[in-house]
Amino acid sequence: MILASRSPRRHQLLRMLGLDFDILPAKIEENLDQTMIPSKLVCKLAIRKAKYIADKKPVSQVIVAADTIVVHQGSIFGQPADISQAKQMLRTLSDSEHHVYTGVAFVRTDQSGIISDKTDFFERTKVTFGSLTDHEIEAYTKSNSPLDKAGAYGIQDDWGAVFVSRIDGDFYNVVGLPIHKFYLHLKHFAPELLSNKYLQDVQTD
Say whether 157 is catalytic. no
User: Is domain 2-193 annotated with CATH 3.40.367.20?
Assistant: no
**pLDDT band at residue 199 under the 50/70/90 scheme:** low
pLDDT at 157 over 90: no
Q: Is 138 left (phi over 0), alpha (psi -120 to 50) or beta?
A: alpha
- Residue-wise pLDDT for 68-89, tens only, equals 999 999 999 999 999 999 999 9
Q: What is the mean pLDDT of the chain?
A: 92
CA-based nearest residue to 104, from 186, 12, 203, 15: 186
Active-site entry in 67, 110, 201, 205? 67
Domain borders along the chain are: 2-193
Beta bridge partners of 62: 108
